[in-house]
Amino acid sequence: MSLNQQSKSRSSSYLARTQGFLRTQLWVWPLVAAVLLAFVAVTLRLKMESAMKQQIASNLQVILNANAEALRAWSATVKSDAENLADEEPLRALVVGLLPKTAPGTPVTAQLLAAPELAAMRSHLNPWLDRRGYAGFVVLDTNCLVMASRRDQLVGMVSPPGYAEQFSNCLAGRALVTKPFPSLAMLLDAKGKLRAGVPTMFAAAPVRSADGKIIAVLGLRITPEKDFARILATARAGESGETYAFSRNGQLLSQSRFDDELRRLGFIPDTEDSYSTLAFQIRDPLVNLSQGKSSPKRPAEQPLTLPVTEAGAGHAGFNVDGYRDYRGVPVVGAWQWFPEFDFGLVTEMDVAEAFRPLHIMRVGFWFIFGLLVAGSVAIYFLMRLANRLQASARKAALQAKQLGQYALDDKIGAGAFGSVYRAHHALMRRPVALKLLESETADPNTLARFEQEVQMTSQLTHPNTIALFDYGRTPEGIFYYAMEYLEGLTLDRLVKNYGPQPECRVISILCQMCGSLAEAHGIGLVHRDIKPANVFLTRRGGLPDFVKVLDFGLVKARAAAGQLELTGANTTLGTPLYMSPEAVEHPDKVDAAADIYSLGAVGYFLVTGHPLFDCATLGEVLMHQVKHLPAKPSERRGKPVSAELENLLMRCLAKKPGERPASARELANALMKCTGAMDWTRERAEEWWGRLAAAQSDKTLVMTAK
């Protein structure tokens, strides 16, 4: 058999066993259903979780982009205001008037504060600034000296901290909006208190002379918490969502929505006038501080959070699996660095809130799954209980000697595939042999073979073929079929008890077997397991030495296209000592010629008292069947055998199917032409059966229970 055939054989055998098991073991179905439902549910949950994560990432990105666009629009507006003011001729003239008062060697501060141009500038700008919502202004010359401001404290200062670096690009001719930075001057905070270090930012534009030369920078002061922070707070997600800005070193540039919590955690002073803007660096505390835990590291040793690290390196992205924010709370977020603002933005939302719908879905899923599992387990135990009750009913039926409409008498045979009872029909009183197969112990292939044996044998009506009367399954789950009851012995027992048989009797037996097989072959059936144990010798209808061919369990339908070959396809089946070479090498291609070979092997056994080969192992038997010819019957028996019968048996045993008799009918005709074919008369048969009855050497019905 080729590797491909072996692979196909194993696959078909496994499939058949699986199908049979699922068909007979119904208790498995609830468990299979539970596993399938669990697989479907888990798959759906994973897909929904993936879809939800994608949706969350998309929402975060939308909020981030919305805030960025709002900042761009606002930035363009305030830059336009600064540029328009810087281009006004009255302001330019006042700036030109202040420039001489900044010359080196002069008391700059005093001259500037006393300059009428400063007063005029304040008078000119303050009403406009108030209308537009600006908190003040500042004018710096090209050396970053403050020439004018709304507040006297800054006037005359050179390069005040934060101003020089923030306004440097304006001196290159570009309008800008600065990042928030702490003010040097005493300014009013959001609560109206005058203090230094108040977060401030500017919209700035260069002031040019009439010839286009940059002579100063005009900055319009913006209160971050009024405009900048309000824009970032406009679009945010849920109760925990926030968008905030941060510098490259991780400093918080905008106001957190969690100021009260940050006061409790010690990030900012616990006073009403303290705010989070510019108050701390955005670092990962490594634990959830909101749960009362303490960070294992000092703030300076803590790493920057994931968005700050990624955005600071120029990598935009998002994370919906969860990471810790500056409070240590697990969050999801999206981030991006904006070079035009020189800061990054991140939009975040607590994981607990973001995945709340998923959590609800998970709870619902596990609840429903639990119900399914509980239901499946309950069904499993109920079906197991039902199977036990059915098994008890089967045992009770057998103990009561009653199987449907049949009354059981004695057990007359047993084997790996079932039991045979002598029984009788409860109403007709007709004796029958009842073959039983209990579904709880039956292999799926055995059950399929059992059913096939009934279906195939029921098509045969030849008198030398065992007759089937009935087939069914009792309410207790016992499969059975009823066949004619035979008294006698198998050919196997005949030879073992009485030795080699006369040639004339062998011819008579083989001719009757040919009749049975001729009918089977005529309708496209191949027996495939012809052997001495499957041929029964009995008295029937007053006729002695009557042959009955048994056990069509391995029968193969070769004419019925598409019919399932339950136990034969691509499988080495049959009894090796009587198996044809092609049945060993190509079990899927056997035909009637294989039965002719087996019939010849049975004849050889009857004549010689020995099988074809004496081998120690199955492998040796199969090899001999394929490659070696058996010794001639006369040599094996040690006595002469008629040439006609010996040559005919050796023809049947030819390795090539084409060299054997073409059909069972042709073989029967050839047998009848052998010397002594008519010598086994009815009288001789009656005499033999009479001696058998008188000696009472074998009163036990011997049948092979396959």
Q: What is the pLDDT of residues 325-381, one digit of tens each?
A: 999 999 999 999 999 889 999 999 999 998 888 777 778 777 877 777 787 778 777
Q: What is the pLDDT of residue 379?
A: 76
pLDDT digits (tens, 9 = 90+) for 278-324: 999 999 999 999 998 999 999 999 999 999 999 999 999 999 999 99
Judged against a pLDDT cut of 50, whether residue 563 lies above it is answered with no
Query: Which of 183-197, 289-303, 685-699 ranks highest by mean pLDDT?
Result: 289-303
At 620-651, the pLDDT tens digits run: 888 988 999 999 999 999 999 999 999 999 99
Tell me which of 352, 377, 410 is where a domain ends: 352
**Residue 611 C-beta-side C-alpha neighbours within 13 Å:** 17
What tokens were used for 426? Answer: 């409860």
- Give percent of the chain with pLDDT exceeding 70: 84
Model confidence at 559, pLDDT cuts 50, 70, 90, reads very low
Instruction: Say yes or no to pLDDT of 515 above 60.
Output: yes
Domain contains 71 = no
Domain containing residue 636: CATH number? 1.10.510.10
If asked whether residues 544 and 675 sit together in one domain, one would say yes
Same domain, 179 and 282: no
Q: In whole angstroms, give the CA distance from residue 485 to residue 492.
A: 19
Beta bridge pairs of residue 19 = none
Q: Give the residues across from 16 on adjacent strands.
A: none
Assess whether 100 and 216 both reside in one domain.
yes
Kindly give, in sequence order, each residue whose CB lies less than 8 Å from that of residue 184, ignoring residues fewer than 6 positions away. 154, 157, 160, 161, 162, 163, 196
Q: Is residue 78 part of a domain?
A: no
**40 in any annotated domain:** no
Residue 442 pLDDT more than 90? no
**Domain assignment of residue 615, yes or no:** yes
245 and 164 share a domain? no
pLDDT confidence of residue 283: 95
For range 176-204, the mean pLDDT: 82
How would residue 560 be classed by pLDDT, with cut points 50, 70 and 90? Answer: very low
Identify whether 295 is part of a domain: yes
What confidence score (pLDDT) does residue 573 get?
46
Give the whole-number percent of the chain exceeding pLDDT 90: 46
Lowest mean pLDDT segment, chosen from 254-268, 438-452, 553-567: 553-567
Same domain, 216 and 248: no
CB 205 within 8 A of CB 218: yes
Whether residue 473 lies inside any domain: the answer is no
Closest C-alpha to 83, from 231, 223, 217: 217
Q: Are residues 242 and 169 in the same domain?
A: no
pLDDT of residue 381: 79
What single-letter DSSP state applies at residue 465? B
Range in 81-85, 482-486, 514-518 with the lowest mean pLDDT: 482-486
Burial label for 214, CB within 10 Å (0-12, 13-18, 19+), is middle
Spatial distance between the Cα atoms of 9 and 16, rounded to a whole number of angstroms: 10
Strands 525-526 and 556-557: antiparallel
Regarding whether 549 and 666 lie in a shared domain, the answer is: yes
What interhelical angle do 28-87 and 116-132 show, nearest 10?
A: 150
Stretch 29-34: mean pLDDT: 68
Residue-wise pLDDT for 150-177, tens only, equals 988 889 888 777 777 888 888 889 999 9
Which pLDDT value is given to residue 196?
Answer: 77
- The closest alpha carbon to 323, from 345, 298, 305, 342, belongs to 305
266 and 181 in a single domain? The answer is: no
Q: What is the pLDDT of residues 104-137, one digit of tens each?
A: 766 788 899 999 999 999 999 999 999 999 999 9
Question: Does residue 380 fall inside a structural domain?
Answer: no
Q: Do 679 and 539 belong together in one domain?
A: yes
Look at residue 583 and tell me if it is in a domain: yes
- Of 189, 223, 257, which one is at a domain's C-terminal end? 223
Q: Are 235 and 243 in contact (CB under 8 A)?
A: yes
Statement: residue 261 has pLDDT above 80 = yes
Q: What is the distance between the alpha carbons of residues 120 and 112, in angstroms, rounded to a whole number?
A: 12
- Distance (Å, whole) CA 57 – CA 354: 10
- The domain tally of the chain equals 3
**CB within 8 A of 396, min separation 6: which ones?**
476
pLDDT at 641: 93
- Considering only CA atoms, which of 204, 205, 210 is closest in space to residue 178? 204
Closest CA to 259 of 356, 161, 191, 315: 191
Identify whether the C-beta of residue 421 lies closer than 8 Å to the C-beta of residue 411. yes
Nearest by Cα to 635 from 625, 649, 652: 649
CB atoms within 10 A of CB 703: 27
Residues 185, 304, single domain; the answer is no
pLDDT, the chain, mean: 83
Strand segments, DSSP code E, in 67-109 are none
Q: What is the mean pLDDT of residues 532-541?
A: 92
Q: Is 342 one of the catalytic residues?
A: no
Catalytic residue among 284, 325, 529, 551: 529
Position with higher pLDDT, 401 vs 206: 206
Distance CA 592, CA 556 (A): 10
The Cα 302–Cα 85 span in angstroms is: 45
**CATH code, domain with 251:** 3.30.450
- Which among 192, 223, 254 is the end of a domain? 223
Extract the tokens encoding 589: 């291609």
Q: What are the DSSP E strand ranges found in 500-592?
A: 525-526, 535-540, 543-549, 556-557
Residue 539 pLDDT > 80, yes or no? yes
* Structure confidence at residue 167 (pLDDT): 85
Nearest CA among 91, 122, 116 for reference residue 101: 116
| In the predicted structure, residue 444 carries a pLDDT above the cut 80 | no
- Domain containing 97 equals 88-223
Kindly state whether residues 265 and 141 are assigned to the same domain.
no
Q: What is the CATH number of the domain that holds 184?
A: 3.30.450.20
For 201, the 3-state DSSP assignment is strand
Mean pLDDT of 657-675: 94
Looking at residue 667, its pLDDT comes to 96
Are 219 and 249 members of one domain?
Answer: no
pLDDT at position 13: 52
Least confident of 43-57, 384-398, 509-523, 526-540: 384-398
